[in-house]
Amino acid sequence: MLQNLTNKYSIILASASPRRQQFLKDLNIPFTIKLFDVEEVYPNTLVKNEIPEYLSILKSKPFDAILKDSELVITSDTIVWHQGSPLEKPKNAEDAFQMLKKLSGNMHEVITSICIKTTKFTKVISDTTKVYFTNITDEEIQYYIKNFKPFDKAGSYGIQEWIGYIGVEKIEGNYFNVMGLPIHKLYEALKNIE
């Protein structure tokens, strides 16, 4: 479906996330993976979508020096926003436990931003999904952390995993955004690139 785009550009996905990689495969978008080690630090004055927008642009910066006219790079970042502050990836099991305790019985927002960059333009899109958790017991949280090790996930959970099955009461917004990529918005943006 994106024949014009893929004829014009070689797509680079700058993400180690297996979920993001699978999304592009499922859309039949041919791509290569290229990663740079970027320290994900942002000004503490940023709030909500400003954080993943800043970080997705930051992740695209190393490509400025090497990107060819025939290449398009996609970078992305996801945060969980809960009660006025971001929950990022947990440092360890205790950190994951504390995050999930905070989310239990509450609503939080999952915000993902995508940066699409060529040598001629940079476009950033974002999406927000509200996720409502039921009350989860300490035992359930410990079981999840022990068996699923969610240390690479913002907010310490994957909605597509066991804890999503038992803990997510409802969502408002896009499900795939919670998995780490608002694929509908990415497709629309790619479709509209000249």
Contact 38, 54 (CB under 8 A): no
Report which of 138, 179, 152, 150 is spatially closest to residue 20, judged by C-alpha positions: 179
* 64 in active site: no
Query: Tokens 């290229």 map to which residue?
Result: 34
**Could you tell me how many residues make up the chain?**
194
Q: Give Cα 115 to chain centroid, integer Å.
A: 11
Which strand (E) or helix (H) includes residue 157? Answer: none
Which two tokens mark 125? 């899109």
Query: Alpha-carbon distance 170 to 164, whole Å?
Result: 10
Which two tokens mark 122? 């940079």
Query: Alpha-carbon distance 172 to 95, whole Å?
Result: 26
Which two tokens mark 132? 């409502």
Q: Of these residues, 64, 69, 77, 138, which one is catalytic?
A: 77
Q: What is the DSSP letter of 148?
A: H
Residues marked active site are found at 77
